[in-house]
Amino acid sequence: MKTADHLCPFGLKTLSLLKRKGYQVDDHTLTSREAIDRFKQEADVDTTPQVYIGDERIGGYEELRRYLGMSVPGDKEVSYRPVIAIFATALLIGLAVGWVSGQSLVSVRTIEFAVASAMVLLGLQKLQDVESFSTMFLNYDLLAQRDVRYGYIYPYAETLAGILMLAGSLIWIAAPVALFIGTVGAISVFKAVYIDKRELKCACVGGNSNVPLGFVSLSENLIMLLMGLWMPAKALLM
């Protein structure tokens, strides 16, 4: 579908995918409302694009991906990819900030930058939809189950603690916050996964994720707990 008012993104994705897979494509572009309506009526379909391989109608972009044995984003398959992306980005941010501030790439402060960046990025994911996060969070967090409001506070607390630790400022606020939410979170995840043996989705990257609750979630909370202990200890030692 390519009109003066609309260029179909799924049509472009479909065309690109077919070509990448080695198909020779006969592309019939619909350039007017009349052509679109006529095609839908003749083919008895509700949407475009429509893919035909030989005489077989495959369907639209998502149906084509399934036909080719590929995953479909809307299928919500279990994946650690969002968490890996966040931690990898946080590590790169930590290295970049450490480099600019004159730190060694393997210095303690560079590690602090990376961990604090991960906290900010994870908090930001939750802040995109606090309502969805709080709903998923209630499935396993012990404190949120006792007081629902904690699920709404958590994303702001995690983000604030991360920003303050990144700046190395107001540690007397950041450390207790990180220590508290990290401890409660670690206990909650450990109970849900390793004691109750429940199979749940983790709200660590927001309420719409399909990341399994388990080791990754526990690690996030343990890292915050350790940061909450380390930052004031370091300040006392210096």
pLDDT at residue 176 greater than cutoff 90: yes
Of 88, 87, 86, 113, which Cα lies nearest the Cα of 98? 113
Token digits for 43?
């083919």
- Tell the residue number behind the tokens 């990898």, with chain if given: 88
Q: How many domains does the chain have?
A: 2
Residue 53: phi, psi to the nearest 5?
-115, 110
The per-residue pLDDT for range 161-173, each reduced to its tens digit, is 999 998 888 989 9
Q: Is residue 3 part of a domain?
A: no
Between 81 and 78, the more confident residue is 81
CA 226 to mean position of chain CA atoms: 23
Is residue 38 domain-resident? yes
Query: Residue written as tokens 């930058």?
Result: 113
The span from the CA of 216 to the CA of 79, in Å, is 12
Of 22, 52, 73, which closes a domain?
73
pLDDT at 114 over 80: yes
User: pTM, whole model, 2 decimals?
Assistant: 0.74
- The confidence score (pLDDT) of residue 191 equals 93
User: Do 98 and 159 have their domain in common?
Assistant: yes
CATH number at residue 41: 3.40.30.10
- 94 and 141 assigned to the same domain: yes
Angle at which helices 171-190 and 149-167 pack, to 10 degrees?
130
Residue 187, pLDDT score: 94
Clarify whether residues 34 and 145 are in a common domain: no
Q: Which of 33, 58, 73 is the last residue of a domain?
A: 73
Structural domain of 19: 9-73
